[in-house]
Each structure stands twice: as structure tokens, then as C-alpha cells.
Amino acid sequence: MRRDDTFIWIGWAFCAALGLAAAVLTVRGAGVHGTDTALAATGRLSFLLFWPAYAGSAMAALFGAGFQPLRRHGREFGLAFASAHIVHLGLVGWLCYIGATPVAGVFVVFGIAAGWTYLLALFSFQSMHRILDAKTWWVLRTLGMNYILYAFATDFLRNPLSGGARRMVEYVPFAVLVVAAPVLRVAAFVVRSGYFGRAEA
């Protein structure tokens, strides 16, 4: 993919997140309630960009050529996620500014995830990627992607079935995706290893 195309992905993801946040804040207001709603909306948009970066290659391995675009554009989805997430982090900053600072544990879990996000984004560019050998990049990417997924899971798997129908609509689809992602990765690893073929032989 050309460098210009990569920056198109980065640009549209940022603009989509910014537009979503602006729309929510316009409707709900820029106070604590509106900002919390905008955080939830941009967090879900970020996750929907992260998910194919995490599971796209596994989907292609398991389900064939129709999912090859997800595998092929995994890096671009990852960079789009990092770009959109800037808006989400900006909303966290705004929440702190208006006096509704989240508890320290939120900053620990999600701060580490943000650190991984932008570390992986940095090393995905060729000038930085050349510093790492293939094994080191694989370890770095595996640790980082799984921690980011864990951070999303701490939100989406927090009693998704409680709180009535609205909460279920807001949480259950994302809870399903966050559970499915590592399952798909493990299944794809088994398929690539040829385990079932050897067992039948």
C-alpha cells in the first residue's frame, strides 16, 4: 500500500471519531454526562477499527479468500484505530478538566493500553520497523495487541447482561466480539499448524 493511502486511513478515522464526538457533545452537552456518552461512542468506534487489526488475519485463515482484505489491511486498521483513539483520549482529558477525573485504576489499565497502541503504531512505520528483527516485532505485537484487547474486555465484559435492554444493546455485541477475537486467533493457529490434518493421517 502506498504511503498516501495509509495516511488516508489515518485521516478518515480521526475525522470520523472527531465528528462522532462533536455530534454527541452537541446533542448531550459538554458536561460530564455528554462527555461520558461521547467516550462510550468513540471507544466503540475505536474497538471496531481495532478488531479487524487483531482478528482479520485469523478470519482469512479460517474462512477463506473473502476475508483476505481484512488480513491485507491489518496494519491500516491498526493505524486507523490509533488515530481515532486520539479523540477518545482527548475526551478523557476534557473530563479531567471539568472536574470529573476517572479513578486511578482507569488510568493504569487504559494508560498502559494507550502506550501499547502508540508504540505499535510507531514501529509499524518502515523507518522504525527496520530497527526490529522479525521475532522481536512478533513478540512486541503479540503482547501489545493482547493487552489492548484485555483493556477493552475490562469494559465490555463488566456485567453486560445487567441494567436492562439498553445496556445489553450497548455492551453484548462488543462483549461477543471481544471474546471471539482470541478464539479466532487460537483456531487459526491450530489450522495453520496442520494439527487436524496430522490427526486424520
CB proximity list for 92: less than 8 A, separation 6 or greater: 39, 102
With 0-12 / 13-18 / 19 or more C-beta atoms within 10 angstroms meaning exposed / middle / buried, residue 81 is buried
Q: What is the pLDDT of residue 82?
A: 98
- Name 44's Cβ contacts closer than 8 Å, sequence gap at least 6: 174
The pLDDT value given to residue 22: 98
**CA 59/CA 136 separation, integer angstroms:** 24
**Residue 40, helix vs strand vs coil:** helix
Cβ–Cβ < 8 Å for 161, 36? no
The pLDDT of residue 196: 53
Q: What share of the chain is helix, strand, coil (3-state, %, to 5)?
A: 85, 0, 15
> What per-residue confidence (pLDDT) applies to 133?
87
pLDDT in tens, the chain (201 residues): 555 688 999 999 999 999 999 999 999 999 999 999 999 999 999 999 999 999 999 999 999 989 999 999 999 999 999 999 999 999 999 999 999 999 999 999 999 999 999 999 999 888 787 888 889 999 999 999 999 999 999 999 987 777 778 888 889 999 999 999 999 999 999 988 875 555 444
- Which DSSP state fits 10? H
Please classify residue 150 by burial: count the beta carbons closer than 10 Å to its beta carbon, then call 0-12 exposed, 13-18 middle and 19+ buried: middle
For residue 8, give the 3-state DSSP assignment: helix
CA 9 to mean position of chain CA atoms = 15
Q: What is the pLDDT of residue 146?
A: 98
Cell of 161: 447482561
Q: Which residues span the domain enclosing 41?
A: 3-200
What's the domain count of the chain?
1
Residue type, 3: R
